[in-house]
Structure 1
Amino acid sequence: MKNRIKKSLSLLLAFGVLLFPQFSFAQSTDPVISPPPPDPLLTPEEAAAKEQKRIYEEVRDQDYLVPTAKGVQQATRKEMDQIHKLQEKTNYQLIGHYVVGDYTSGEILMFHRPDDVIGLASTTKLMTIYVVLDEIEKGNLGFKDPVVIGKTAASLTGSTYETKETDIFTVEELIHAGLIISGNDAMVALAEHISGSEGAFVDKMNQKAQDLGLTHAHFINVHGLTNYGKNDYNKMTARELFQLTRHLIQDHPVVLEIASRRSIQEEGREFISYNTNPLLGIVPEVDGLKTGYTNAAGRCLVATSFKGASENKQDTRLIGVFMNSPDNMSRYVGTRRIMEEAIGRFRYESIALPEKPVSEIQLEEGVPRENALYPKESKLYLADNTKEITVEAIPDKEIQLPKEAGESLGTVRYLIDGEEIYKTDLVAHQTIREPNPILRFIDVVGRAFRNIEAIVEK
């Protein structure tokens, strides 16, 4: 009887859900990794161990974000164990060569082995896209121009845009494919469309490197794969790759807008691929730019970051070049640590603020007698928060009155570790006048009486 009642209730519940789906008990639309069906050949102990291993390796339940082939997700327990072990290593153990520099000035702020000639892998595509954008700027090409995919491009392996021979894409689509998902086929298709052959286009890349003064740069292709037949590959130094990136952003800032896209999704051909940048969507300030990997180059990343103005802080953009990391997780841990340190440490600040007094003077015969002194001009300075700026205000010993507002009344120096980084005049914000002759006489008499009183009291 009980079984019949349970069965009837189950049927009624199922019927109700079919009629009124809005009352379904499902509360979440998030994908759920369901456990696989039990294996009848395993003992209960073996089945339990297998399930624990699955949870350890597959279930993303950790409160820590990581890059994956399907975009940014929570880490698995296995990934967290890897990350904890890697966090114990030094930056030098995680990243073979790196440079972090200021985009605005070109100053190198942090580095390790920046001048060794190293493989570029797919960071090569920064130069490829640079030349493509130059051609657009010259009027030789348009973003919406159609490009037919050739046999060579369609046959490429590794990171691709999954193009087929005779497919047609726009120049813009292929640029996006190169920057966001590192499409090798997209780069060859653009090269052949612009120059007739990849070799002719590579000549443009090498010429561009010479024009930029990248003396160690050497390009043999547009994608960065190693030519094992010739035992050759694209190369330059980390410092030069920083300079290349800086020039690219200056000349074609559109690359930042493109590289900040999280994915490419094209429903028409059922294509979806996620940005290869491991820091994008995890480090909030990171907005680009390009990854790479070959056996010769290791895992590579060119990262860009931007922090906007607030109070006396000003816009700050950094460029990080990270080359020859042994594996993806080492690259992620190392680049995240270094970029987060640099973003928190270096910031453009306005020092010597004209509205903030740094000293004051008292003048016996000035009107007014007490005057706050301000820096005359401010300076935009890339500050390092590990170093303290000291202020040394030096008013003039003799001041000839009157002094108009803004006239020099001395100097103020700003120093780090005793080294002067900036100097400007000290000024008052109001005119300092000579006193009225009658008031001056009263003042002289008053001082005389005060002196007499002081002598009598003694």
Structure 2
Amino acid sequence: MKRLSGLKKGLSLVLAVSLAVAYVPSSSSKAWAAPELQLNVKSAILIDAATGQVLYENNADEALPPASMAKMMTEYILMERIDSGKLSWDSMVTTSHYAANVGGSGGMLAENEQLSVKDMLYALSIYSSNDAAVALAEYMASNEQSFVALMNEKAKELGMSKTHFTSATGLTREDIEDPELKNNPLEGDTLMSARDASTLGLRLIKDHPSILEFTKIPSKKLRESDQFPMQNWNWMLEGKATTDFQKQFAYPGMDGLKTGSTDAAGYCFTGTAVRNGTRLISVVMNAQSTKKNPNKSEREAARFIETRKLLDYGFNNFETKTVVAKDSAVDTVPTVKVKKGLKNSVPVVVGDTVSLILPKDAKDSDIKKTAKDTTDGKLTAPVKKGQELGTMTVTYGKVTKTVKLVAAEDVKKAGAFRLFWRGVGDFFSRLGHTVKGWF
């Protein structure tokens, strides 16, 4: 009797079962080997806009002067306020003495002139207008220094670890033309890495996609009374060319983002283009012409020549592939046990589609999928359809993406009477298996 009592106690214990399962393909996964693109730049990076995957990088973490690429942060903060309703497109912005005299690209605005927020953004995004950038910064934060504090705060929030802003324009102290305006109380000068520029460009497009309605415009009059339109500094926009020389740089699908150039920065460009549903973002910093004794146009063209190399590499060698479909079953974790439910288990499906941008010759066997139940055997009814039950991690080389595993259906809680008789049935079933094992 003592032995049987001990068996009963043992049979009453609930065993926790781990469902963590890893799928290991027959061949090890390998990261693609980026070729030597022979870029004539100090730093560069190419990323996929949908996933943030890095497809190519070269010295991407060195902090360098970004010139007017810094204005992407001015655009980001402005668009954030527009989209949240804190600012109106029609609000009028007054140009201060400082804004009107800051120098560099622009020179479109007179002191005390008023333009709408929208027109100021046209000047900023098309003509890279420093006066418009400063006017907007002052409008949003009373003065440029206070706005720069917002820029640095936002950079930290976005994970731009190699970035430091000291102006809303990207101008250094030496770039500012008016001697009275050089006394910037902030330490250092604006610096940004290519990786950070790609991060900023990505977030600008993802969080505020309407910015592309501004950056893709080849030319536009700032005022109807103007004799000539503003010309976009981005020569890669289709329809942009104003000279035969510029025509060679038009790039199908190009619609942004921001050029930049100063003596310290050289010629820089954060570009983006979309083809067949795939959007890429490229950054080149301090691009150099390979011409012997290049003229100004040839020096300026270098950033577009190097950008084409990057984008061509990305579009020619990679494609977006659906690796796991939403609501698909998980072979390695088909179900998860449920306590006190009308059913003893619930089917498991993938909560969202997993897409990766992969080399066009990538093999399915090179993709690892690891599924894991995270309920620790403690899932108790009721269970709602879509309730998170675990995770699946998809890995190709150094690229990793994690997606939720969820319940495929509802499981209602069982009544007390049903649970009682289920417990009785389970007990005698286990007892029967134990007794059978004695003989």
Instruction: Sort the TM-score into its range (normalised by shorter chain).
Output: 0.5 to 0.7
Q: CA deviation at 1:177?
A: 1.2
Matched, 1:272 2:229: yes
1:330 corresponds to which residue? 302
Q: Give the deviation of 1:218 after TM superposition.
A: 0.6
Q: Is the 8 A contact 1:149 1:164 kept in 2?
A: yes
SS at match of 1:118: coil
Alignment correspondent of 2:371: none
C-alpha spacing 1:271/1:385, structure 2 compared with 1 (3 Å): same
Q: Does 1:208 align with 2:165?
A: no
Q: TM-score, normalised by structure 2?
A: 0.59
Superposed, which structure 2 residues align to 1:385-396 within 5 Å?
A: 385=360, 387=362
Q: Which residue of 2 aligns with 1:128?
A: 74
Q: Which runs of 5+ in 1 are unaligned?
A: 1-89, 309-314, 355-375, 393-413, 423-458
Partner of 2:266: 298
Following superposition, the deviation at residue 420 of structure 1 comes to: 12
* Residue 234 of structure 1, aligned match among 182, 190, 205: 190
Distance 1:337 1:93, change over 3 A: closer
- The separation in 2 between residues aligned to 1:385 and 1:300, in whole angstroms, is 29
Is the 2:257–2:272 contact (alpha carbons within 8 Å) kept by the matching residues of 1? Answer: yes
State the alpha-carbon separation in 2 of the partners of residues 179 and 106 from structure 1: 23
Instruction: String of CA shifts for 1:139-176, please: whole Å, max 9, x gaps.
Output: 33111111111111111222105111122111011112
Contact kept, 8 Å, 2:68 with 2:259, in 1: the verdict is yes
Is 2:93–2:116's contact at 8 Å kept on the other side of the alignment? Answer: yes
**1:410-449 residue pairs with structure 2 within 5 A?**
none
For residues 416 and 168 of structure 1, do their structure 2 counterparts lie closer, same or farther at Cα, with a shift above 3 Å needed?
Answer: closer
Take 1:280 and 1:155, find their aligned partners in 2: how far apart are those partners?
29
Change (3 A) 1:138 1:272: same
Q: Specify the alignment match of 1:381 in structure 2.
A: 356
Q: Equivalent pairs: percent with the same residue? A: 30
Letter matched to residue 253 of structure 2: E
Alignment size in residue pairs: 284
1:321 counterpart = 2:283? yes
Determine the C-alpha separation between the residues in 1 that align with 2:272 and 2:170.
Answer: 20
Counterpart position of 2:40: 94
Deviation at 1:225, TM superposition (A): 1.0
Quick one: structure 1 residues 391 and 341, their matched pair in 2 at CA, closer, same or farther if it must change by over 3 Å? Answer: closer
* Native 8 Å contact 1:118 1:297 kept in 2: yes
Deviation at 1:260, TM superposition (A): 0.8
| Structure 2: runs of 5+ lacking an equivalent | 1-35, 175-181, 239-249, 289-298, 327-348, 368-393, 403-439
Query: What residue identity is the alignment partner of 2:259?
Result: T
| Alpha-carbon distance between aligned partners in 2 of 1:380 and 1:323, rounded to the nearest angstrom | 30
Greater mean deviation of Cα atoms: 382-391 or 105-114: 382-391
Change (3 A) 1:201 1:124: same
- Partners of 2:324 and 2:188 lie apart in 1 by 53
Q: In structure 2, do the counterparts of structure 1 residues 386 and 234 end up closer, same or farther at CA, with 3 Å as the change threshold?
A: farther
Report the alpha carbon displacement of residue 243 of structure 1 after superposing the two structures with TM: 1.1
Please give the secondary structure, in 1, of the residue aligned with 2:150: helix
**Contact (CA 8 Å) 2:79, 2:211: kept in 1 or not?**
no
Q: Is the 8 A contact 1:290 1:301 kept in 2?
A: yes
Larger Rg, first or second structure (1 or 2): 1
SS at match of 1:330: helix
The letter for the 1-side match of 2:118 is E
- Mapping of 1:40-119 within 5 angstroms? 91-119=37-65
1:352 to 1:215, Cα distance in 2 relative to 1, 3 A = closer
Between stretches 248-257 and 131-140, larger displacement belongs to 131-140
C-alpha spacing 1:119/1:416, structure 2 compared with 1 (3 Å): closer
In the superposition, relative to structure 1, how do residues 386 and 176 fare at CA in structure 2: closer, same or farther (>3 Å)? farther
Deviation at 1:293, TM superposition (A): 0.4
Q: Taking structure 1 as the reference length, what is the TM-score of the superposition?
A: 0.57
Identify which of structures 1 and 2 has the higher relative contact order when contacts are C-alpha pairs closer than 8 Å and 6+ apart.
Answer: 2
Residues 107/203 of structure 1: CA separation in 2 closer, same or farther (3 Å cut): same
The 1:342–1:150 alpha-carbon spacing in structure 2 relative to 1, beyond 3 Å, is same
